[in-house]
Amino acid sequence: MELASKYDPQAVENKWYKYWLAHRLFSSKPDGREPFTIVIPPPNVTGVLHMGHMLNNTIQDILVRRARMKGRNACWVPGTDHASIATEAKVVAKLAAEGVKKTDLTREQFLDHAWEWTHKHGGIILEQLKKLGASCDWDRTCFTMDEPRSASVIKVFNDLYNKGLIYRGVRMVNWDPAAKTALSDEEVNYKEQQGKLYYLRYNVSGEASYAVVATTRPETIMGDTAMCINPDDPKTAWLKGKRVIVPLIDREIPVIEDEYVDMEFGTGCLKVTPAHDVNDYMLGEKYNLPSIDIFNDDGTLNDNGAMYAGMDRFEVREKIVADLQAADLLDKVEDYTNKVGYSERTDVPIEPKLSMQWFLKMEDLAKPALDAVMNDTVRFYPAKFKNTYRHWMENVKDWCISRQLWWGHRIPAWYMEGRVFVAETREEAYKQALSSIDGQFSIDDLRRDEDCLDTWFSSWLWPVSVFDGINNPDNEDIKYYYPTNDLVTAPEIIFFWVARMIISGYEYRQEACFRNVYFTGIVRDKLGRKMSKSLGNSPDPIELMNKYGADGVRMGMLLTSPAGNDLPFDESLCEQGRNFNNKIWNAFRLVKGLQVAETGNLKSTNAIAIAWFDEVLQKAVAEQDDLFSKYRISEALMGVYKLFWDEFSAWYLEIIKPPYEQPVDKATYDKTLEYFEELLKLLHPFMPFITEELWQALKERKDGESIMTASLNYASASGSLADDFEVVKEIIAGVRTIRTQNSIAQKDVVNLFIIGEHNAEFDDIIRKLCYIGEISRLSEKPSDTASFLVRTTEYHIPVEINVEHELKRLDKELKYQEGFLRSVLGKLNNEKFVANAQPEVVANERQKQADAESKIRTLQERIEQLKNKP
């Protein structure tokens, strides 16, 4: 292949993605190999790619590509989520823009519009993932509302209902007035707000006195059905047995007594509104109080709101405060900080509301899923999220699974004569009804439940349902690919999704649905703010990839992305990624551009370089294996980045590169190409496009061959050359520093004098890279030289010394070494450290002490020598 002088990501990326698809290199079928399975966290069908998706799917692709190269049968299942609330809101908004209200349509007509929207927008995000390089098995693409997934949801609902785990009842729920639906507790975000505490006067019936109640929500007084006091509170004892009058509407309510009331909060008197507060609801149940619902589904007040009927709840708050003040029923107002629940979907304050809903009993279902994480059957990375998970699972509440929406899986329940019949089909429900109800009636007389199931009720089955394991529990795919290996997701959906998937896995497959969970952090901007459309601080991922290439952006995302920690994203990281692409490209062109001598012996410098880099590469591969086993993926990327940029490009290539217009021997050239191939394979999971392009250019390949399926296994490391060469690097760096400090041109030949221990094995390399003439051993310090220390060995280069400058430099180095020695002695003089530290740690500190003391003596002697110089 003829390589362009500059790397063009657009041309390369499009070419190779088409090649991978054409040769079905992402496709997976059960076979004799060990499987490696990931199911994609299904993005909303209405969504487009954002930076969170980029990070999450880059990590998934890295894991899948690496597993493929390790010989595993890698299967990455893609798909999308129907996202009930989000999609319905978008369809309603689209219709409204066309002058059509949802209420003007039948359910079937609305669903036609929703499906049209889904077919138009549903594939966008998956196509965008292809640009990122996602190696999903696209033939397996699933949708939470496609036929197999929908059948799975209905079957599971019936199963859990028949087990007595799903029930229907009136309960206090979180109501979203914008979406007009109930929400589960996990779909509510609590935000701290600066509000007001209003002190209202409740006149005592038949007396010229009043009790004061403190509330943050005066608009709910029309729903009050009692006042509650603590029976042990002396300051409110005078109210026992009395009745009070609700302000403005003059309705009498009883004073009840319960220890629930906090005597220290407010006035000690609590207004009880059972229809609109969770705790008040429990008091209402306990004391058989009536419940008065004052809100419509959209957050306006209904007829129970008296003179405020039809007004929005927050408008009522302002109006009622003014009216209370005018009626001399407002005692005072104070600033108050409290937490208010907001809908996770629509970001409006939720309303606690009594509503008939469907619920799933969670306590018993949760037990095996809790144990699985706590005993590391399912491992969390980072492990700190185990405590978050444990706290939620130990305090799990029944899951409100019904939603007042049309878009979604309609609840498979039918009603007749006050009876409910749960079945997979209307026909099955009709059979149940015929056996339970006397008289004649037709199948059309059955009325189906209007509600849909919570979106999460389909996605909690995802690892099982994508392999059709609910409908066909013994099929080949589910037996081969389940349990899956890794889940990559965000910690904010640990309850919505992760916990529930583990629960469903144990319920329907009797084992965990995945083995490892990698939690990504939140992508933030340079100021630490979460990226969002509203702040305008989130770059368009497609534009980033067009500018820097997919490989550049993938690398940029991972450079500062440790598991579970937030990612401080800066576009300069993508630029760094692009620069690395260019570095790889240019290094390849350099190697392929070398003249090769078909005959000739292997130079000693090259032989050493080859032996050294063999060892470095082996150790790097072992380090990669270790880091991936711990899911330290960013560190793994930095390891291979440094391996290529520093060890291979800055050292190995510099050593083996022949003089200008001279050839390199064939043995060295062949070995260099071999190294380049191994480096490309290590880089491939992170940077799939450029590595495929260069791997194909290395040598002739057959059609259908790909780096994707090249083996990523290397011999284990042995030997000490790598450690010895670190000393050589310090020597070369020291020589170059002296050249710079003394304005000696890098190509002017100088001599090097050595006092102390020195391994001469690498002298030819030092000569070549430092333009050294003679390397001599001395027993005494020479005059008129500049020197440096490596470990405890002195290295001298003859120069015309500026004594004043050299003394300053040596004095600075002496102070540093003295400070370093003090820090080491601080540890060694600490009896606890010496007693408790590992023996090898203490020995290492003692070696540091000896080295520092040796260097200090040498520096002091050199300073004295210069001071006494005539």
pLDDT over threshold 80, residue 77? yes
pLDDT over threshold 70, residue 208? yes
pLDDT over threshold 80, residue 116? yes
Tokens of 2: 């003829």
Is residue 785 within a helix (H) or strand (E), and if so which, with residue range?
Answer: strand 785-790
For residue 745, what pLDDT is reported?
87
Question: Residue 217's pLDDT band (boundaries 50, 70, 90)?
Answer: very high
Is residue 130 within a helix (H) or strand (E), and if so which, with residue range?
Answer: helix 124-132
The pLDDT tens digits for 384-442 are 999 999 999 999 999 999 999 999 999 999 999 889 999 999 999 999 999 999 888 99
pLDDT over threshold 70, residue 534? no
Question: Residue 785's pLDDT band (boundaries 50, 70, 90)?
Answer: confident
pLDDT over threshold 90, residue 354? no
**d(Cα 565, Cα 246) in Å, to the nearest integer?**
51
Give a three-class secondary structure readout of 176-201.
Answer: ECCCCEEECHHHEEEEEEEEEEEEEE
pLDDT over threshold 80, residue 562? no
**d(Cα 369, Cα 499) in Å, to the nearest integer?**
7
pLDDT higher at 858 or 215: 215
CA distances from 662 to 342, 594, 658, 729 (A): 72, 9, 6, 25
For the segment 623-642, the average pLDDT, to the nearest whole number, is 94
pLDDT over threshold 70, residue 138? yes
pLDDT higher at 406 or 264: 406
Question: Residue 353's pLDDT band (boundaries 50, 70, 90)?
Answer: confident
pLDDT over threshold 90, residue 186? no
pLDDT over threshold 90, residue 362? yes
For residue 379, what pLDDT is reported?
97
**d(Cα 237, Cα 594) in Å, to the nearest integer?**
97
For residue 15, what pLDDT is reported?
96
For the segment 785-806, the average pLDDT, to the nearest whole number, is 86
Tokens of 596: 């090769």
pLDDT higher at 297 or 865: 297
**d(Cα 221, Cα 173) in Å, to the nearest integer?**
19
For residue 123, what pLDDT is reported?
82
Question: Residue 773's pLDDT band (boundaries 50, 70, 90)?
Answer: very high
Under 8 Å between Cβ of 605 and 612: no
For residue 598, what pLDDT is reported?
85
Number of H helices, E strands in the chain: 28, 31
pLDDT over threshold 90, residue 862? no
For the segment 249-258, the average pLDDT, to the nearest whole number, is 96
The pLDDT tens digits for 637-678 are 999 999 999 999 999 999 999 988 899 999 999 999 999 999
Which ranges in 549-632 belong to alpha helices (H)? 550-558, 571-592, 604-629
pLDDT over threshold 80, residue 268? yes
The rounded mean pLDDT for the chain is: 92
Which ranges in 756-802 belong to alpha helices (H)? 763-770
For residue 331, what pLDDT is reported?
95
Of 319, 270, 277, nearest to 294 by C-alpha is: 277
Of 327, 353, 349, nearest to 338 by C-alpha is: 349
pLDDT over threshold 90, residue 636? yes
Of 41, 28, 26, nearest to 144 by C-alpha is: 41
Ramachandran assignment for 631, one of left (phi > 0), alpha (psi -120 to 50 degrees), beta (any other):
left
For residue 563, what pLDDT is reported?
63
The pLDDT tens digits for 417-428 are 889 999 999 999
For residue 390, what pLDDT is reported?
95
Question: Residue 710's pLDDT band (boundaries 50, 70, 90)?
Answer: very high
pLDDT over threshold 90, residue 272? yes
Which ranges in 567-603 belong to alpha helices (H)? 571-592
pLDDT over threshold 90, residue 523? no
pLDDT over threshold 70, residue 715? no
The pLDDT tens digits for 462-510 are 999 999 999 999 999 999 999 999 999 998 889 989 999 999 999 999 9
**d(Cα 89, Cα 464) in Å, to the nearest integer?**
29
State which amino acid sits at residue 383: A
Tokens of 427: 């026909």
For residue 592, what pLDDT is reported?
93
> Which residues 6+ apart lie within 8 Å of 862 measured at CB?
781, 787, 810
Exposure of 512 in the CB half-sphere (CA atoms within 13 A): 23
pLDDT over threshold 70, residue 216? yes
For residue 355, what pLDDT is reported?
84
Q: Is the peptide bond before 30 cis (omega within 30 degrees of 0)?
A: no
Question: Residue 130's pLDDT band (boundaries 50, 70, 90)?
Answer: very high
Under 8 Å between Cβ of 863 and 810: yes
pLDDT over threshold 80, residue 716? no
For the segment 576-593, the average pLDDT, to the nearest whole number, is 95
pLDDT over threshold 90, residue 345? no
pLDDT higher at 717 or 265: 265
pLDDT higher at 870 or 808: 808
Which residues, in sequence order, are bridge partners of residue 447? Answer: 415
Question: Residue 326's pLDDT band (boundaries 50, 70, 90)?
Answer: very high
438-466 b/e (C-beta count within 10 Å ≥ 16 → b): eeeeeeeebeebebbbbbbbbbbbbbbbb
Going by their DSSP bridges, the two strands 330-343 and 269-272 should be labelled as unpaired
